[in-house]
Amino acid sequence: MSTVTAELHDVPTEPAVNYLNASYGIKSWLLTLDHKRIGLLYLASITLMFIVGGVAATLMRLHLVEPQGALFEPETYNKMFSTHGIIMVFFFLVPSIPATLGNFLIPLMIGARDVAFPKLNLMSWYIFITGAALALYGTISGGVDTGWTFYPPYSSLYSQTHVVVVALGIFIAGFSSILTGLNFLVTIHKMRCPGMTWFRLPLFIWALYATSLIFVLGTPVIAITIFLLALERLLHVGIFDPAIGGDPLLFQHLFWFYSHPAVYIMILPGMGVISELVTAFSRKKIFGYSFVAFSSLSIAVISFIVWGHHMFVTGQSIYAGLVFSVLSFLVAIPSAVKVFNWTATLYRGSISYQAPMLYALGFVGLFTIGGLTGLFLASLATDVHLNGTYFIVAHFHYIMVGGAVMAYLGGIHFWWPKISGRMYPDMWARISAAIVFLGFNLTFFPQFMLGYLGMPRRYAVYPAEFQVLNVLSSAGASILGVGYVIPLVYLAWSMRYGPVAGPNPWKAKGLEWTIPSPPPTENFEEIPIVTEDAYNYPAIEAPDYPEVPGVARV
Amino acid sequence: MIIDWLQPVSNALGVTIPFQPPAASSIAGDVDKLYLVLSGITAFFTVLIFSIILVFMIKYRRRKDDETPVSTHTPLIVELTWTIIPSLICAVLFVWSAALYVRNARPLASSTEIFVIGKQWMWHLQHPEGPREINELHVPVGVPIKLTMTSQDVIHDFYIPAFRVKKDVLPGRFTEIWFQATETGTYHLFCAQYCGTNHSEMIGWVYVMTPTDYASWLAGGEKAESLAQLGARLFSQYGCDNCHVPEGNGRAPSLVGVYGKPEKLQSGETRVVDESLIQQAILTPNSVHLPNYKPVMPTYQGQINADQMLDLIAYVKSLGSEERSGK
Amino acid sequence: MWIFLATEILFFGGMFTAYVVYRSLHLPSFILGSHELLVKFGAMNTGVLICSSLTMALAIRTAQTGGSKGTIIFWLLLTMALGAAFLAIKLRFEWYRDYVEGLIPGVSWLSGGTHTPGVQMFMCFYFFMTGLHALHMVVGLGILTVLVIMTARARFSPEYYAPLEISGLYWHFVDIVWIFLFPLLYLIGGRYPGS
């Protein structure tokens, strides 16, 4: 295996003035308009939220080693899983890649000096941390026990917990998503440098574009849903209360109308990252560029019309079930296309195995499993048995954790030299990637089995026959936790003590790699002019490949 | 099958890892078959992708830092193939699953009906002949059973893994499922929709008995009146029979034979008289009143609890039907 | 701004969807509830808002054609006055009256008679939707204030009046939402003479 070696005649040096040291002091960070610094502000905030959510998860898994519960009363356990879900979904996964890597990289990748609305960008961050602070306050002062799904009538009429405060936190943070999405859409439309046509864009940009569409169109619906729920709780009027003609299922429809596209918000950027990683570490053009680009858009569009698959057992009509089932099968196809394209990109590549690539390959495998288990749930007859059980929990964790979080970590590692100017120790990074992969599978595979056996989710206590699988899952969780802690340590260490990285330690293609690491505040000395396709790695024409007219070339 | 030889493996490891829930209903086998095929497809594609990646990882590993790979092209046919084949697989799965689902969704007309009320945090089950159970359900084997269910407070979910059936129970509405047990035995009953503090304690057992055992269970215990008999008494107690007389008068429609028939309401819409409509009429009468009648029926919101509601509904259903019970 | 307006459409849209669902389920109650509203004030407000969109457009036109900043400010202030009139009519003649008559769920609800649970549901929606709309109006007034100040500082010219145009879009959007709200809330089921 090759390791990253600097050219012998060119020892990388850090630029004396870059965005990190261009100005000092807390005010220069808190009032910055530099998209790169804003990306780092987000990085700090969501890392904190990840830790909070992760602690909740750790406590949950420790509690579940015993059938009667090892640590908590059911009331506390219920608050734990609610906190875990709310924090992880709304305050970690939704912003993760877009707000950190997206903010940092979009202008760099399209050859711009900043995003379209830098002040709006900073305001987004302040809105985000306001929402997060409110949610944390609600958690600390007692938390909620409604689950992240807040179903009424329990959440509106029965729960005695701080629903309004936490829901308000989510409501506020939603505006951060909307403004970020708006910013990205305008930036990508209007600020591409000369020569950067749509089909020369890196696929990361396509993925973030599709994500921004969902941000902008989906988030307002959760906002109004939370608004209605909060009003119901505060004024004791029953919009969702059957006693005055309300319908709790209406809440579910409104809630899932956002929350299903939301899960695509969480995975599409990760898919964009994987496209970048797979090409960089096999030094090849992506296989099927336009298919991958269009699959991102079609996932975004179809994601809005499948929400009913969360409600197959609610007593909705058979016809609604049939429609949502077929559409849910449909939404799987573009994702499958991506997996095949990534795999095919490796063909005849020049593959190296630094940590980002390990995360990327782990993603492809785990996302395949997660996505295919989605078919069990799109399929009506099996969903009846599996809905509300640990099968669902396993399915979405395979995608969210085995997929999105691994893509996030892979992206952080890949662009870390660009962000910080330093390299991290790759051996430690590869070890953590392996620990994460192993720990993850041990945690969540047994949960598929638990679900099929019938163990419902959100159970604080469970029948004894499920104990062995639960213990396996908790063992895996402890390993997984270790795998997440190690990068925190070495990444922080590298900021001070890591070797200087230079502009392009990976020898990757992409405008972001043509500028110094860390980049100067204005990104480019001169706005570049683009003349080649994305991922235009040098390649030898295969002598055995015939020129066939009509065969699409990429 | 595969599951059979996994069991000895887990036994050899000294632990009991269950792999499959008992299959105890007429549809369980079909659902399991579909599940197995889905698992097979998942395993196939997972192994396929993993192996290809592994092969490529080894075969195309970077040997020199500055090597230049050979270019590849993307024939459209390849892209189309791996778009169309998964689409076809999905189409087949959808049709199979939908057919199974639709078949299971409609209760057989001959089903025995049992009522279920979910409330925080217990299941209340009522046999039409009278016996009531809490967190336990006795049913005879080989007989189709229809459960008509509602909730008294929040949304719960009635789940019997061994039968592969599950349905939410909602306040203010009735939902139904049906099953036919095929093996005697004792099976788990779970609540599968988070409903508050003791959600995980809202569990129980389903006892599937031979028909003779069931009959003696039904007859034993306290002599209980049937739901319809109780309902008849409530009908009189709450004064319903002052207006709803069997011959019909100007004040209120007769309820004889009304269950299951479509009725045109004042608002113009037509609804079939089912459990939900009867409940709605008792609790919010003005929302469903009929043309040609003045909206004078008082509401019984807050006066009738969920059990009494079931009794009244059972009574209305029994009016004009072949099996008159009591009165 | 167009993208932002798209998000607003989805935002109000969720509420409209809920409203449509409940109306189809409980039409009689909604008719009863709608009769509690005073159409004449709703209609008056509709006229007020439409005029304010006109004055807004005139303000933009003045900037476009190089008119004096005094004229622009005049039209902007007139727009604000009309917007404020809308809010005043709402507050004084409609919401205050609803408060006194016990028609505000959760705040001053008096049940009995025509104030049935179904009507309560309708009034919930009435207040949520018009309240949300009024909130957007207040924000709009704030935006207009900023525009007045910017105009006074001679920031606009025929070459650059984008903030006016963009704010105009927002104002027109708020107007359009009202044009949907008015018939949906006030004009259900016609008005039966003597009923």
Which domains, ranges and CATH numbers included, belong to chain A?
26-514 (1.20.210.10)
- Evaluate if residue B222 carries a pLDDT over 70: no
What confidence tier does B1 reach under pLDDT thresholds 50, 70, 90? Answer: very low
Question: To the nearest whole number, what is the mean pLDDT of chain A?
Answer: 90
pLDDT of residue B10: 61
Residue A519 or B2, more confident? A519
Distances (CA, A) of A529 to A243, A526, C87: 65, 9, 53
Question: What CA–CA distance (Å, rounded) separates C62 from C69?
Answer: 8
How far B300 CA sits from the closest chain A CA (Å)?
11
| 3-state secondary structure (DSSP) of residue A316 | coil
Residue A311, min C-alpha distance to chain B (Å): 9
Q: Would you call C22 and A220 a contact, using CB atoms and an 8 Å cutoff?
A: no
How many angstroms separate the CA of residue C71 from the nearest CA in chain A? 31
Distance CA B169, CA B158 (A): 7
A369 close to B (CB below 8 A): yes
Pairing of the two strands B175-180 and B165-169:
unpaired
At B151-208, the pLDDT tens digits run 988 999 999 999 999 999 999 889 999 999 999 999 999 999 999 999 999 999 999 9
Mean pLDDT of A346-361: 92
Test A381 with B31 for CB contact under 8 angstroms.
yes
Residue B7 at interface with chain A, using a CB cutoff of 8 Å: no
CA-wise closest residue to B90 among C70, A375, A460: A375
Tokens 């697989």 found at: B89
Instruction: Quote the CA–CA distance of A256 and A372 in Å, as a whole number.
Output: 21
Instruction: Give the pLDDT of residue A313.
Output: 92
CA distance B149 to chain C (A): 22
| Chain B residues in contact with C27 (beta carbon < 8 A) | 267-268
Rounded CA separation A268/A362 (Å): 16
Q: What is the pLDDT of residue C193?
A: 44
Best of A86, A382, A447 to disrupt the B interface (most B CBs within 10 Å) is A382
pLDDT of residue A273: 96
Is B17 a residue whose pLDDT tops 80?
A: no
Token pair of B2, please? 């595969």
Q: Do A224 and C14 touch (CB under 8 A)?
A: yes
B72: closest CA among A36, A492, A285?
A285
Is the pLDDT reported for residue C145 higher than 70?
yes
C89: which 2 tokens? 């009519």
Q: CA geometry: angle at B111 spanning B110 and B117, to 5°? A: 150
| pLDDT class of B224 with cuts at 50, 70, 90 | low
Report all structural domains of chain C as residue ranges with CATH numbers, in order of start: 2-186 (1.20.120.80)
Q: Mean pLDDT of all residues in chain C?
A: 84
How far apart are the C-alpha atoms of B282 and B309, rounded to whole Å?
9
pLDDT at site C159: 84
Alpha carbon C79 to chain centroid, angstroms: 13
CA distance B308 to chain A (A): 17
Asked whether B42 and A372 are in contact (CB, 8 A), the reply is yes
Angle at A320 between CA B192 and CA B125, to 5 degrees: 35
Tokens found for residue A461? 């206590």
DSSP, res B209: E
Judge whether A404 and A94 are in contact, CB under 8 Å: no
Q: Between chains, do A250 and C18 touch, taking CB under 8 Å as contact?
A: yes
Q: Which of A306, A314, A536, A541 to mutate to test the interface with B (most CBs of B within 10 A)?
A: A314
Architecture of domain B19-59+106-224: Sandwich (2.60)
Q: How many angstroms separate the CA atoms of A414 and C129, rounded? A: 48
Q: Do C29 and B266 touch (CB under 8 A)?
A: no
Judging contacts by C-beta atoms under 8 Å, the chain C residues touching residue B266 are 28
pLDDT of residue A552: 45
Q: What is the mean pLDDT of residues B60-78?
A: 81
Distance CA C4, CA A118 (A): 16
- For residue range A313-335, what is the model confidence (pLDDT) as tens digits? 998 888 999 999 999 999 999 99
- Give the integer Cα–Cα distance in Å for B247 and A443: 67
From A234, A237, A250, residue closest to C124, measured CB to CB = A237
Counts for chain B of helices (H) and strands (E), in that order? 8, 12
pLDDT of residue A8: 46
**Judging by beta carbons within 10 Å of its beta carbon (0-12, 13-18, 19+), is residue A240 exposed, middle or buried?**
buried
Length of chain B: 327
Closest CA to A349 of A537, A482, A506, A543: A537
Residue B287, min C-alpha distance to chain C (Å)? 7
Please answer whether residues A491 and A504 qualify as being in contact, where contact means their C-beta atoms are separated by less than 8 angstroms. Answer: no
pLDDT at A430 over 70: yes
- β-pairing, B136-140 vs B204-209, is parallel
Identify the band that residue A402 occupies on the pLDDT scale cut at 50, 70 and 90. Answer: very high
Q: Quickly state the pLDDT bin for A3 (edges 50, 70, 90).
A: very low
Q: Is there a contact between B281 and B288 (Cβ–Cβ < 8 Å)?
A: yes
Give B 12-31 residues with CB within 8 A of chain A: 15-21, 30-31
Q: Strand B122-126 to strand B144-151: parallel, antiparallel, or no bridges (unpaired)? A: unpaired
For residue C195, what pLDDT is reported? 34
Question: d(Cα A79, Cα A75) in Å, to the nearest integer?
Answer: 7
* pLDDT computed for residue C190 by the predictor: 61
> C11: distance to nearest CA of chain A, Å?
4
With 90 as the cut, is the pLDDT of residue A306 above it? yes
CB contact under 8 A, C117 and B267: no
- Smallest Cβ–Cβ distance between C18 and the set A186, A243, A254 belongs to A254
Query: How far, in Å, CA of C106 to CA of C120, rounded?
Result: 10
Interface of B with C (CB under 8 A): 266-268, 284, 286-287, 301
| Record: contact C25-A225, CB cut-off 8 A | no
Shortest distance between the Cα of C116 and any Cα of chain B, in A, equals 9
As a whole number of angstroms, the distance between CA C147 and CA C142 comes to: 9
The pairing of strands B204-209 and B185-191 is antiparallel
* Interface size, chain A vs chain C, as Cβ–Cβ contacts under 8 Å: 85
Q: Which residue of C has its CA nearest to B301?
A: C117
User: What is the pLDDT confidence band of residue A202, given thresholds at 50, 70 and 90?
Assistant: very high
A222-268 pLDDT tens trace: 998 998 898 888 887 778 888 777 888 889 999 999 999 999 999 99
Residue B141 tokens read as 């084997």
- Please, where are the H alpha helices in A13-117? 26-30, 35-63, 74-86, 96-97, 103-110
Residues from chain A that touch B190, judged by Cβ atoms under 8 A, are 454, 456
- Residue A309: which pLDDT band, with cuts at 50, 70 and 90? very high
> What band does A300 get if pLDDT is binned at 50, 70 and 90?
very high
Give residue B16's pLDDT.
64
Q: Which residues of C touch A227 (CB under 8 A)?
A: 128, 132
Tokens of A402: 């085995």
Closest CA to B156 of A421, C68, A517, A248: A248
Collect all residues of chain B within an 8 Å Cβ-Cβ radius of residue A361: 53, 57
Query: Which residue from A13, A40, A182, A206 is spatially nearest to A109, judged by alpha carbons?
Result: A206
**Cα dist from A218 to A177, B93, B297, B312, C54, whole Å:** 10, 29, 44, 44, 32
CA A177 – CA A102 distance, rounded (Å): 12
pLDDT at A548 > cutoff 60: no
Q: In chain B, where does the domain assigned CATH 1.10.760.10 lie?
A: 227-318
Q: How many residues does chain A have?
A: 554
The segment(s) of chain B belonging to CATH 2.60.40.420 are: 19-59+106-224
Q: Locate the chain B residue with the closest alpha carbon to A326.
A: B94
A370 φ/ψ sector (left φ>0, alpha ψ -120 to 50, else beta)? alpha
In whole angstroms, what is the distance from residue A506 CA to residue C82 CA?
62
The pLDDT, as a whole number, for residue B15 is 65
pTM of the model: 0.87
Contact B286 C28 (CB under 8 A): yes
Tokens of B10: 């887990």
Q: Which residues pair with B177 in a beta bridge?
A: B147
Q: Give the confidence band of C15 by pLDDT, cuts at 50, 70, 90.
A: confident
Alpha helix positions (H), A315-354:
318-346
Residue B11 pLDDT class (50, 70, 90 cuts): low
Contact at CB, C28 and B284, closer than 8 angstroms: no
Over 80: is that where the pLDDT of A63 sits?
Answer: yes
CATH number of B227-318: 1.10.760.10
pLDDT higher than threshold 70 for residue A9? no
- Taking an 8 Å cut-off on Cβ atoms, the answer to whether B286 and C29 are in contact is yes
User: Would residue B138 be called left, alpha or beta, if left means φ above 0 and alpha means ψ between -120 and 50 degrees?
Assistant: beta
Residue A217: which residues within 8 A CB-CB, separation 6 or more? A261, A304, C6, C7, C10
Give the residue, A57 or A523, on which the prediction is more confident: A57
First-to-last alpha carbon distance for chain C, in angstroms, is: 46
Is the pLDDT higher at A390 or at B73? A390
CA A25 to each of CA A17, A22, A119, A218, B238: distance values in angstroms, whole numbers, following the listed order: 15, 10, 19, 38, 77
